[in-house]
Amino acid sequence: MEGKEEDVRLGANKFSERQPIGTSAQTDKDYKEPPPAPLFEPGELSSWSFYRAGIAEFIATFLFLYISVLTVMGVVKSPTKCGTVGIQGIAWAFGGMIFALVYCTAGISGGHINPAVTFGLLLARKLSLTRAVFYMVMQCLGAICGAGVVKGFMGKNEFNTLGGGANSVAHGYTKGSGLGAEIVGTFVLVYTVFSATDAKRSARDSHVPILAPLPIGFAVFLVHLATIPITGTGINPARSLGAAIIYNKDHAWNDHWIFWVGPFIGAALAAIYHVIVIRAIPFKSRS
């Protein structure tokens, strides 16, 4: 019983993701830099919290694709954008869902909901490779299921006619422009994740972990406003993969590599910036 009580008491923190969002935020004013996550952490595989976190990532990404792709379908379906929520509404759907889902899942999995975010945190040694791969697989499966449900609701013909919410580089833009938009957009997102969940700020200001989902969701909203006209805005490989697999037309696959390479490069640059700049800032307590 003693072991079970300890597992319940620690919950998701038993094998923490080592990032301050939700699962490993500092709880006292005396900040101590957490040690880098090991590349492999075999003990995770025998912990229920590890699999619970993966399930949370699956459900969150499923809901994210369901709401966001359905919103895109509604806008594309209308003959006039004035009668719909338009680009602003699509951006709010993506950003609002990320805000809500990060808030709901931060204490379980860390609220990644995006392989690019997971990749950035892995490079910054915030979580193990074992957990990162598991998260990415669950995120992609959730995205595929979410887009699949939308197709089931709308019907195959209408879903395919409306483009399935798949990402592609818009006419008038080059592949290089699309790649650049994805790199910069993902950098903005992952940089915001690192900044909003910085452990130093969490230790100094107790409200930071609670407010972290807000700037993250707002960053997603702003990036969508800027890049929807260019690529439809990916910045999330799972989102792009889920829509592409369910739509499954050449149009969705021609530029698909951009929506993996771009976000991963952007996440890597944000992780490097975090390690070199943000982590190097000395801690100063307000107390």
Residues 242-255 pLDDT 10s: 999 999 999 889 99
Percent of the chain with pLDDT over 90: 67
What pLDDT is recorded for position 5?
44
The answer to whether the predicted template modeling score (pTM) of the entire model surpasses 0.75 is yes
User: What pLDDT is recorded for position 194?
Assistant: 92
Which segment of 25-29, 49-53, 164-168 scores lowest on mean pLDDT? 25-29
Domain range for 227 is 43-162+169-278
List the CATH number of the domain containing 66: 1.20.1080.10
Number of domains in the chain: 1
Classify residue 158: in a domain, yes or no.
yes
- Lowest mean per-residue pLDDT among 100-104, 206-210, 229-233, 261-265: 206-210
Is 126 among the domain residues? yes
Task: Report yes or no on 113 lying in a domain.
Answer: yes
d(CA 154, CA 147): 11
Whether residue 31 is contained in a domain is answered as: no
pLDDT of residue 23: 41
- Per-residue pLDDT at 285: 53
19 pLDDT above the threshold of 60: no
CB 247 within 8 A of CB 163: yes
Q: Round to whole Å and give the CA distance between 45 and 103.
A: 25
Task: Give the whole-angstrom CA distance, residue 267 versus residue 235.
Answer: 9
Residue 32 lies in a domain: no
| Rounded-to-integer distance, Cα 268 and Cα 21, Å | 19
> Is 26 part of a structural domain of the chain?
no
Cβ burial of 149 (10 Å; 0-12, 13-18, 19+) is middle
pLDDT per residue as tens digits for the range 125-183: 999 999 999 999 999 999 999 999 999 999 999 999 999 999 999 999 999 999 999 99
The answer to the question of residue 150 being in a domain is yes
| C-beta separation of 120 from 194 below 8 A | yes
Task: Tell whether 231 is covered by a domain.
Answer: yes
